[in-house]
Amino acid sequence: MIQVKAFVAREKDGTYSIFADEKAPINYGLVGEGRTVQEAIDEWNATYAAMKESYAKDNMPFEEAAFTFTYDVPSFLAYYGSLLTFKGLAKLTGVSAAQLSQYAIGYRNPSAKTTAKIQAGLQAFASELSQVSLV
């Protein structure tokens, strides 16, 4: 089984779409769309299952894949913005809340350095949360 990056993108109408890395070594195309990321992932998985079934029915070789869903910064901020405030994300990442807001609405695009800074802050927070135990 191969690993394939699937990119989650927020569209201008507020919906989400998912598409595979164009360099992915798979011999079929997939797409997922929905009002939420979860709807898009569900459609993606249903399309994958249908494609696998179709290839088996036609006795064609099918490359099984596991997918890693990857977000660009604006799509991540738009989706998770209802769970994490820009002020809170600013504390976690060291990127100002104003900048994060501009990325979320598409007014500005983060540099590679800023994207790495945001990702590092989020991963450190996730690591910390994974060790939390509630009583």
Q: Which residues of 81-98 are buried (b: 16+ CB within 10 A; e: fewer)?
A: eeeeebeebbebbebeee
Q: How far apart are CA 13 and CA 65, in angstroms?
A: 30
pLDDT in the model for residue 24: 80
pLDDT in the model for residue 135: 64
Mean pLDDT in residue range 84-110: 90
The phi and psi torsions of 61 (rounded to 5 degrees) equal: -65, 135
Whether residue 110 has pLDDT greater than 90: yes
Q: Which of 64, 59, 1, 66 is nearest to 28 (CA)?
A: 64
pLDDT in the model for residue 28: 84
Whether residue 23 has pLDDT greater than 70: yes
Mean pLDDT in residue range 52-80: 89
pLDDT in the model for residue 133: 65
State pTM to two decimals: 0.72
Do the beta carbons of residue 8 and residue 75 sit within 8 Å? yes
Pick 2-70's CATH classification: 1.10.10, 3.30.2390, 1.20.1340, 1.10.3210. 3.30.2390
Q: How far apart are CA 120 and CA 125, in angstroms?
A: 9
Do the beta carbons of residue 66 and residue 3 sit within 8 Å? yes
Mean pLDDT in residue range 96-100: 93
Of 34-43, 87-96, 126-135, give the lowest mean pLDDT range: 126-135
Q: What would the pLDDT profile of 29-60 be if each residue is shown by its tens digit?
A: 889 999 988 999 999 999 999 999 999 999 99
